[in-house]
Amino acid sequence: MTAEKPAPATARELGIAEQVALYQREFPMVDPQVETIVQTLSRVARRMAVAYDRQLTVLGITSAEWEVLKALVVSGSPYRLGPGELAKRLGLTPAAMTHRIDRMVTEGLVTRERDEANRVRVIIELTDLGRDKWLESMRMAAVFEEELLQDVVGEDRAVLSGMLARMLRRIEESRPDAPGRAGEQS
């Protein structure tokens, strides 16, 4: 008679306290409060990204396309930029930007036209459909974000906002080569 192998344990994400305890076991000098905060922030960011991606999927756009729409919206009316400026704002190569714009033109989110004043220059402009999708994504995000922060009320929101801003500033000052710096976001 052969012994049966136990069924493999189903994979699960460790709870934060459990993960911090394991870190402490292997690296006793870890500060459990600091590690708990960092791990919590990391999970919040990951789960928010998943939620936003799901909302964009409902709208039929990708997060990459949303970034282009956002760059055009925040540029202000008439919501037009050159592809080089878009690439720079999004930290993309010109080739990657061209590929993204090609898809978005096909989807009707933006147009690509020659600048009448300078026929060499190309202008990317937000379409009504692109603006509508961006606005709807913002409406959906506002509902999600308000739900997310429902337990953080009154002065606590200002305190949390200030603490997170200081943390971000400290990261940016100590790691100036880190991509995605807040000051570079448009």
pLDDT over 70 (residue 4): no
Q: Return the half-sphere exposure (C-beta side, CA atoms, 13 A cut-off) of residue 142.
A: 6
Confidence (pLDDT) at 7: 58
Long-range contacts of 174-182 (CB under 8 A, 24+ apart): 179/91, 180/91
pLDDT tens digit sequence for 43-92: 999 999 999 999 999 999 999 999 999 999 999 999 999 999 999 999 99
Task: Please state whether the predicted TM-score (pTM) of the whole model is above 0.85.
Answer: no
Averaged pLDDT, 111-137: 92
